[in-house]
Amino acid sequence: MKITRKDFLRLSGLGLLALAGKKAVRAVGERSFASSSPPKKRVRWGMAIDLQKCRQKDGCDRCIKACHSTHNVPQFADRAHEIKWIWKEPFKNVFPAAQTGYTREFFGDLPVLLLCNHCDDPPCQDVCPVDATWKRDNGVVTIDFHRCIGCRYCMAACPYGARSFNWQDPRPAIAMVNPDFPTRTRGVVEKCNFCEERLARGQGPACAESCEEKAIVSGDLEKPDSEVRQVLRSRFAVQRKPELGTGPSVYYIV
Amino acid sequence: MFMFERALTGSRKYWLWVASLLFVVLAGSLCYVLQLTHGLAVTGLSRDVSWGLYIAQFTFFVGVAASAVIVVLPYYLHNYQQFVRLTLLGELLAVTAVTMCMLFIFVDLGQPSRIFNIVLHPQLKSVMFWDMIALGGYLLMNAVIAVVTLTAQREQVPVPGWIKPVIILSIPWAISIHTVTAFLYSGLPGRSYWLTAILAPRFLASAFASGPALLILLCLALRKLTGFDAGWEAIQKLAVIVAYALAINIFLILAEVFTAFYSGIPEHEEAFRYLFVGFNGDYHLVPWMWLSALLSWVALTLLLVPKWRNNIRLLAVACAAIFVSIWLDKGLGLIVGGFTPSPLGAVTRYVPTLPESTIVLGIWAVGALMITVFYKTTLSVWEEN
């Protein structure tokens, strides 16, 4: 049998095509095999805040200071421009529906700790036009400070008032810069990040760790034997505005 | 450039008008530079009221843009010949209004240099993405329609056939831009003033009242300044449409008030209370909202009685009243009402600052300049024929 030059080229071309085809089939096969393996266990970081323990020490703000110094949160005197990741508000403003005329007498003015709820179905994520805020695999709702265009649609969408906007350059208003966490620029939105940078190192949130009364318990809400789930099993806890269907991951033990 | 050289000849008065508009644009630009250097802190916005005059103006002018359909639809779908001149004027008004909307969104951004992230990282779940598609498409469509129509009129040839489908498409598209803009607000949980299914119908009704009212005012001004007559019958027909749209708008607002106050659900009542009677000791918007209500009723009365509607002076008063009334309701009350009280029950007063108002005026001046150039070009083509 005689092979002409033309046949040789044709055959080697076909051989190469077959090789590429085999690779492609294998790649597709591997991918479909991977997706048919059991799904990775869901992780959802959450928190239970014991309000009784929280108000044991009058005017305590250790957690607020710990969070704000860890994350380079600027301090502005003007209420209109303030930036806050974790702060306190009177009970009557946080749970307006959870009080009759009489419980208001005792509970109304008691302080409640507030932070981003890291919703299961976050409205802020849906509205962001540039995908700068999203829910991570571990349930933490996070922001890309470098992608945010500062349209503030997420602030309108958040039913909890958890988001702050940098109306001006925040850097001059940071008392002491923590070099381990980025400072922000003017014109972007920010909020509590559930200390995702600490979670990545195997540490708990800074607010929970700073609390001497152990009023803040954090953990994986999907894991039945986690500390937070044990607390939620034994005590009656409420979420903020659960009727909106956002699925807040922060629980309050009243 | 396309026929615009026709706008470069004019009387002393004309150039004085153009120069004063350019001066306002310059003042607005300087204030924008101030905002760029110091951030949005130079505005009256706050953590609680995080959108204000800019976004409100955007919303109001989407309505003005959408209202072009009020002249386009009767002319192209029902062959209502009286509107032959008004359609082109309406389309040019739409082009101007959408351009203003885009400028208002742009000056509201905290990081304007990152604006192309909207194209680089589009998020199909965000209503803002769809609003951009709707507005961009509408701008392009109306610009093409206006240019093609005017060129055909200059050459005294019939318009090319391919433009007809574009014109027909622009009709539902006009409805879509204001519907999608309403969805920006009405789909948000926890903002009870906006969380209502009749927000989009309300937006359309108020748009179909305020937009054509502005068009009537512009026609009356052209008549006085240049002697151009859009046709009294056409203007009267437009006035009747405005009257009905205004009546529907008033009806929809009253339906909202009934639901809020008869149900008595505090969350639904609070924003209305804040706007119309004051809440937690803050009354600063109350007189403005009542002025808006009063102007709407006065305008409706003037437009419903044929004798008054036929009087050119009273017609101008009625149209100006509608424009101011709906500007107050949509350009002030709607946005601030959505943010007050805040999710934590706080009432934070929002008062626009001088730089913020100057930037807004600057964008208005850009709009006035565009309308001046567009209408002057159009009128000079018509005069030739």
What is the number of other CB atoms lying within 10 angstroms of the CB of residue B210?
29
Shortest Cα distance, chain A CAs vs residue B73, angstroms: 32
Per-residue confidence (pLDDT) for residue A164, from 0 to 100? 97
Per-residue confidence (pLDDT) for residue B197, from 0 to 100? 95
Question: Using a CB-CB distance cutoff of 8 angstroms, which residues of chain B are in contact with residue A160?
Answer: 190, 343
**Candidates A114, A151, A186, partner chain B, best to mutate (most B CBs within 10 A):** A151
Q: Do A151 and B110 touch (CB under 8 A)?
A: yes
Shortest Cα distance, chain B CAs vs residue A214, angstroms: 26
Q: Do B111 and A148 touch (CB under 8 A)?
A: yes
Q: In 3D, which of A124, A121, A138 has the Cα closest to residue A194?
A: A138
Per-residue confidence (pLDDT) for residue A49, from 0 to 100? 96
**Domain locations in chain A as residue ranges:** 1-37, 45-253
Q: What's the token pair of residue B29?
A: 């630009």
> What is the DSSP track for B153-198?
HHHT-PPPTTHHHHHHHHHHHHHHHHHHHHHHHHT-TT-TTT--TT
Residue A31 has pLDDT above 60, yes or no: no
Q: In 3D, which of A76, A153, A3 has the Cα closest to residue B132?
A: A153
What is the number of other CB atoms lying within 10 angstroms of the CB of residue B160?
11
Per-residue confidence (pLDDT) for residue B63, from 0 to 100? 95
Rounded to an integer, the average pLDDT of A116-128 is 96
CATH architecture of B44-352: Up-down Bundle (1.20)
**Global pTM value:** 0.91
- Per residue in A44-79, pLDDT tens? 999 999 999 999 988 899 999 999 999 999 999 999
Alpha-carbon A112 to chain mean position: 19
CATH architecture of A45-253: 2-Layer Sandwich (3.30)
Shortest Cα distance, chain B CAs vs residue A7, angstroms: 48
Question: Using a CB-CB distance cutoff of 8 angstroms, which residues of chain B are in contact with residue A147?
Answer: 114, 117, 121
Per-residue confidence (pLDDT) for residue B86, from 0 to 100? 93
**Domain locations in chain B as residue ranges:** 44-352
Q: What is the mean pLDDT of chain A?
A: 90
Per-residue confidence (pLDDT) for residue B144, from 0 to 100? 96
Q: How confident is the model at residue A191 (pLDDT cuts 50, 70, 90)?
A: very high
Beta bridge partners of A220: A45
User: How far is residue B110's CA from residue A79's CA, in Å, rounded to a whole number?
Assistant: 19
Per-residue confidence (pLDDT) for residue A27, from 0 to 100? 62
Residue A34 has pLDDT above 60, yes or no: no
Q: Do A186 and B39 touch (CB under 8 A)?
A: yes
- Using the structure block, give the residue that is written with the tokens 């009656």: A236
Shortest Cα distance, chain A CAs vs residue B372, angstroms: 31
**Does A80 or A19 have the greater pLDDT score?**
A80
Residue A29 has pLDDT above 60, yes or no: no
Kindly list the averaged pLDDT for each block of 10 residues, start to end, along chain B of length 385: 78 94 98 97 96 96 94 91 92 96 97 95 94 96 94 92 94 95 95 95 96 96 91 94 97 96 92 92 93 97 95 96 96 92 93 97 98 94 86
Q: Do A187 and B51 touch (CB under 8 A)?
A: no
Rounded to an integer, the average pLDDT of A169-176 is 95
Rounded to an integer, the average pLDDT of A126-155 is 96
User: How far is residue A221's CA from residue A232's CA, in Å, rounded to a whole number?
Assistant: 9
Q: How confident is the model at residue A8 (pLDDT cuts 50, 70, 90)?
A: confident
Closest CB to B38 among A129, A152, A168: A168
Residue A169 has pLDDT above 70, yes or no: yes
Question: Using a CB-CB distance cutoff of 8 angstroms, which residues of chain B are in contact with residue A96?
Answer: 266-267, 345
